[in-house]
Structure 1
Amino acid sequence: MNQEDLIIKSSTLGFVGTNCYFVAKKSASVPVQGIVIDPAYDGKKIYEDLKAEGCVVDLVLLTHAHFDHIGGACELCELSGAPLYCHALEKRLCEDTEANLSADYGLPCQVQPDRFLEDGEVIRQDGLEIQVLSTPGHTEGSCCYYLPKEQVLFSGDTLFAQSVGRTDLPTGSTEKLMQSIREKLLVLPEETRVYPGHMDTTTIGYEKRVNPFF
């Protein structure tokens, strides 16, 4: 398969402008069954918009547990019946409203993942194979999701177009972030299409050439 074999729907949600993704394998069948990554805000709207487009949510993945990535998770999971997965090292931010920054905005938010993921784990869902890449730095439990057959990466707040994630928030580390990017992301094929948590898409090859942080 290649990138053209995927359906990737993107919506930018919340006042921080977080990218929420729906990912599915292209199929002639209806409804289209797939995965939501980082339901940032208003889970009901995410659910209803996807339903109106003939899409069913079977799984919800978090790249990390900052408030602007989890705000719609509980409602989306409740409406869809989909389980919620997150990296095991992100447990504190899932539970601590100060650490996940939601308390700072008067919108305390917690999530209770149905399963905690480990580095290198492969998720098989709806015909997709997704590798869990542990990428600590933005937060201790940040991770990216890589589809090797399609050469697609969902990078959360680890890697952006011509930038990288900030590291001055709870559990962040600049040293770990740069190590994660060097050892886990820049080794991927240059054609890999990167779908970040904020701003525009990019590719690994382009970032290796122009990103000022490398």
Structure 2
Amino acid sequence: MARVRAERVVTSGTFSLDGETFDVDNNVWLIGDDSEVLVVDAAHDAGAVIRAVAGRSVTAVVCTHGHDDHIGAAVDLAEHTGAPVLLHPDDLQLWHTVHPDRKPDGELADGQRLHVAGVAVQVIHTPGHTWGGCSLYVPFLNAVCTGDTLFHGGPGATGRSYSDRHTLENAIRERLLVLPSDTVVHTGHGTDTTIGAERPHVPAV
């Protein structure tokens, strides 16, 4: 397990919702070792992710939420690797706007434990950016992948369809800020941060 790590792959494309489209760079995270990995948020470019996987076994393609920039390459990656796509069921409506003819292979649920390379990955339901938003806590790495729930500088965006600011801030306070302060936050866009660094940026109740 000493070789277990989180690897970042940056892919570029667009994010579209509510009639608007934006250019974005996304972080795709590979959690695992030299033999197998779990892919978090297969964004934009399946080929780039496949090259980073470099022949390792993919145990799952996990979607932190259903926005198109986080799931666009999930189906292609799953078909190439044979790995199941996992998504929280509250984001199925968003999923079907991108992949209308294919369902995810399995559901994410709060408290669920996934396993890769001998370590556990805990699913934490953190709704608000989307209703089905989830974070993935890896105690062995002292790290959490937060998708678009928590960034360097505070909570993710709300104000669009399927989102709510109050719900997001509550989820962050109750589910993420209780993690150890030195927990590394691997975000869906931009740079890493830590739980401790973000506590001042989340409004108190």
Bucket of the pairwise TM-score, normalised by the shorter protein: 0.7 to 0.9
- What's the counterpart of residue 37 of structure 1? 40
> Normalized against structure 1, the TM-score is what?
0.84
Q: CA deviation at 1:169?
A: 1.8
Q: Deviations over 1:23-52 (max 9, x none)?
A: 104xxxxx521111001012133113322x
Q: CA RMSD in A?
A: 1.8
Matched, 1:68 2:69: yes
Distance 2:197 2:63 in 1: 25
Q: Which TM-score applies when normalising by structure 2?
A: 0.87
Does residue 24 (structure 1) correspond to residue 19 (structure 2)? The answer is no
State which of 4, 7, 14 in structure 2 corresponds to 1:6: 4
- 2: distance between equivalents of 1:22 and 1:128? 13
- Write the distance in 1 (CA, Å) between the matches of 2:188 and 2:119: 20
CA contact (8 A) 2:5 2:141 kept: no
Does residue 157 (structure 1) correspond to residue 155 (structure 2)? The answer is no
Percent identity of equivalent pairs: 35
The aligned residue for residue 202 of structure 1 is 193
- Give unmatched runs, 5+ long, in structure 1: 26-30, 98-107
Deviation of 1:213 (Å): 5.0
Question: Relative to structure 1, is the Cα distance of residues 49 and 124 closer, same or farther in structure 2, using a 3 angstrom cutoff?
Answer: closer
Q: Within 5 Å, which residues of 2 pair with 1:25-174? A: 25=33, 32-51=35-54, 54-95=55-96, 97=97, 108-110=98-100, 112-174=103-165
- Using the TM superposition, give the Cα deviation of residue 182 of structure 1 relative to its aligned residue in structure 2, in angstroms: 0.4
Q: Is the 8 A contact 2:41 2:63 kept in 1?
A: yes
> Could you tell me which residue of structure 2 aligns to residue 100 of structure 1?
none
Q: What secondary structure, in the 3-state scheme, does the structure 1 residue paired with 2:124 have?
A: strand
In the alignment, the residues of structure 1 paired with residue 87 and residue 178 of structure 2 have an alpha-carbon distance, to the nearest angstrom, of 23
> Structure 1 residues 194 and 48 mapped into 2: Cα distance closer, same or farther (>3 Å)?
same
Tell me which residue corresponds to 1:104.
none
1:55-88 deviations in whole A, cap 9, x for unaligned? Answer: 3322110000101001111110000011111112
Q: Which 5+ residue runs of structure 2 have no aligned equivalent?
A: 14-23
Q: CA deviation at 1:148?
A: 2.1
Range 128-137 or range 8-17, more displaced: 8-17
Count of matched residue pairs: 193
Change (3 A) 1:148 1:49: closer
- Offset, 1:212: 6.4
1:120 Cα deviation from its structure 2 partner: 1.1
